[in-house]
């Protein structure tokens, strides 16, 4: 009877580890699955079935039922726990999800030791469970959107269609098309990348062939989406604008994706045929069966891993519970007169406010009549910050609006005789419209321009002070055509100097 138990227990232990992981991080895993169901990340739903299929594919030459119980897996799991803590307390969801993937790698390493090298490709595919941060997504696909727009404009002009392009806006005279992220390849880029890896794995054996296949994803995305926008433009100028926003929009997206899939498969076959004669493959042999440890080692390592997951979950929950809420003035009384600048308050829409996650905010346009320029001010304030409730750098919003980032640099401003701060200034342009945009994080007495350094301070102050409150300050000068960037920088600095005393009153230090 004891002998039978010793055979069964090693198979029960991985299930117990998995159960402790799911129970410890059930809240975070629920948010991850919600992200998967988003329009840009629904490809993530296919990743786990693909991962399981790739494991099943190795069933003939890998001993999945024989465990090594390697202590290296504990080291990887410890690293994954640090990522999860940093992600949750520093409000970086991507780090949390990266920690989940690393935890899965740690469990695989715990069970199979050096045999994990035979599972490298399935583990790489499993990494696609991590949705890219919206800012990184937009940064990677911004040029893709511009190239697709430019290609469609070129095709329209070949067909004698009068068209003007302003960033991602295509003016057809009778109507204007906005090339949004959904039309630019954003929803296709990551699925196409995943698909190219799978097709390369199934058809191509040589590394260079797989690399060529992956490199085709970007040009194919530009080509297909450029043609898609071109067809939408032709439909619009020929009086079928309703088709662009209804059936055509969804159908053309699906059709474009299927065409790219077919082209990738075709290129994979051509690469396979052009690769020359392959060397004779070695006959596949099964891995040597690892020596089976006694019962004490598997039980001990499993217990350590379970306690590690539970302990990490406790640290994260403690960071969420211990929050000091500081007293402050409400932005309802924020002044609309800043030096020579006269402001007018405006309000965000319900959808934008929901995505901003702010507990309080002020948005206003300040006009300086003498200088004929306007400054846009937005200050969202957060009583506490965590994942899905935090300030984020504004580049994502600006790039999403079709602005082109010419350059960015830090500017130093002396706001009081004894206080110097640094802000991030960005020269942005969209068509003929120029904006000198700036921002900085004002949080618990610190002025920070780096989003990553800001995340570190969030994690540190959450553990040491029990505080994560703070604000993002966005100041954007909308430049007249005659204004130089040097003059715009001088005016921006002057406004922030006048703004600073008011910030101290509304954002606690």
pLDDT above 50: residue 483: yes
**pLDDT confidence of residue 17:** 92
Q: Are 99 and 359 in contact (CB under 8 A)?
A: no
Distances (CA, A) of 458 to 175, 317, 411, 446: 46, 15, 23, 11
Q: Indicate if the pLDDT at residue 289 is higher than 60.
A: no
Beta bridge partners of 426: 408, 437
In 113-188, which ranges are E strands? 164-166, 169-171, 176-178
pLDDT number for residue 183 = 47
User: Residue 181: which pLDDT band, with cuts at 50, 70 and 90?
Assistant: very low
Helix (H, G, I), strand (E, B) or coil at 503: helix
Which pLDDT does position 140 carry in this prediction?
67
pLDDT (tens digit per residue) in 325-367: 567 788 989 999 998 899 999 998 888 887 788 889 999 999 9
Interval 66-97: pLDDT, tens: 888 999 999 999 999 999 988 887 777 888 99
Higher pLDDT, 6 or 113: 113
DSSP character at residue 340: T
* Domain ranges, ordered by start, for the chain: 2-131+294-321, 134-274, 331-506
CA distance 339 to 495: 8
The owner of tokens 């309080």 is 360
Residue 235 near residue 221 (C-beta atoms within 8 A): no
**Is the model's pLDDT at 111 over the cut of 60?**
yes
Q: How many residues does the chain have?
A: 509
Q: What does the mean pLDDT of the chain come to?
A: 81
448: buried, middle or exposed (CB in 10 Å: 19+, 13-18, 0-12)? buried
First-to-last C-alpha distance (Å) of the chain: 66
Q: What is the pLDDT of residues 431-480, one digit of tens each?
A: 677 889 999 999 888 999 988 888 888 888 877 777 888 899 999 998 88
How far is Cα 250 from Cα 246, in angstroms, rounded to an integer? Answer: 7
DSSP-based helix, strand, coil % in the chain, nearest 5: 60, 15, 25
């Amino acid at each position: 009877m004891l002998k039978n138990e010793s055979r069964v227990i090693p198979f029960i232990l991985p299930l117990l580890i998995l159960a402790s992981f799911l129970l410890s991080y059930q809240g975070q895993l629920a948010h991850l699955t919600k992200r998967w169901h988003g329009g840009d990340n629904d490809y993530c739903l296919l990743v786990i079935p693909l991962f399981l299929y790739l494991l099943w594919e190795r069933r003939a030459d890998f001993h999945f039922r024989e465990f090594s119980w390697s202590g290296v897996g504990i080291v990887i799991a410890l690293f994954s726990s640090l990522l999860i803590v940093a992600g949750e307390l520093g409000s970086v969801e991507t780090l949390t999800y990266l920690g989940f993937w690393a935890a899965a790698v740690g469990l695989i390493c715990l069970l199979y030791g050096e045999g994990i090298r035979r599972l490298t490709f399935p583990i790489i595919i499993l990494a696609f469970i991590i949705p890219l941060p919206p800012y990184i997504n937009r940064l990677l696909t911004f040029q893709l959107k511009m190239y697709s727009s430019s290609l469609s404009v070129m095709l329209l002009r070949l067909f004698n269609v009068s068209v003007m392009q302003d960033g991602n806006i295509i003016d057809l005279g009778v109507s204007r098309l906005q090339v949004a992220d959904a039309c630019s390849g954003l929803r296709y880029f990551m699925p196409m990348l995943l698909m190219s890896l799978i097709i390369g794995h199934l058809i191509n054996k040589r590394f260079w062939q797989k690399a060529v296949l992956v490199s085709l994803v970007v040009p194919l995305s530009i080509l297909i989406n450029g043609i898609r926008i071109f067809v939408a433009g032709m439909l619009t100028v020929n009086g079928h604008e309703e088709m662009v926003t209804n059936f055509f929009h969804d159908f053309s997206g699906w059709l474009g994706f299927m065409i790219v899939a077919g082209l990738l498969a075709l290129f994979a076959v051509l690469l396979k045929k052009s690769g020359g004669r392959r060397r004779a493959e070695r006959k596949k042999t099964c891995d040597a069966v690892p020596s089976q440890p006694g019962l004490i080692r598997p039980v001990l390592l499993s217990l350590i891993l379970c306690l590690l997951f539970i302990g990490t979950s406790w640290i994260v929950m403690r960071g969420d519970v211990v929050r000091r809420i500081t007293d402050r003035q409400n932005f309802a009384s924020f002044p609309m007169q800043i030096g020579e600048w006269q402001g007018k308050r405006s309000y965000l829409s319900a959808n934008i406010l929901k995505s901003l996650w702010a507990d309080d905010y002020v948005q206003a346009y300040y006009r300086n009549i003498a200088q004929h320029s306007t400054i846009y001010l937005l200050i969202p304030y957060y009583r506490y910050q965590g994942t899905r409730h935090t300030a984020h750098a504004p580049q994502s919003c600006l790039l999403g609006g079709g602005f082109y980032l010419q350059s960015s640099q830090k500017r130093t401003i002396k706001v009081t005789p004894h206080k110097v701060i640094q802000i991030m200034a960005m020269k942005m342009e969209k068509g003929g419209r120029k904006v000198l945009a700036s921002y900085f994080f004002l949080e618990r007495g610190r002025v920070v321009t780096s989003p990553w350094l800001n995340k570190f301070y969030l994690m540190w102050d959450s553990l040491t002070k029990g505080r994560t409150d703070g604000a993002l300050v966005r100041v954007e000068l909308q430049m007249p055509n005659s204004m130089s960037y040097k003059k715009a920088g001088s005016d921006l600095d002057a406004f922030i100097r006048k703004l600073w005393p008011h910030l101290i009153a509304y954002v606690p230090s």
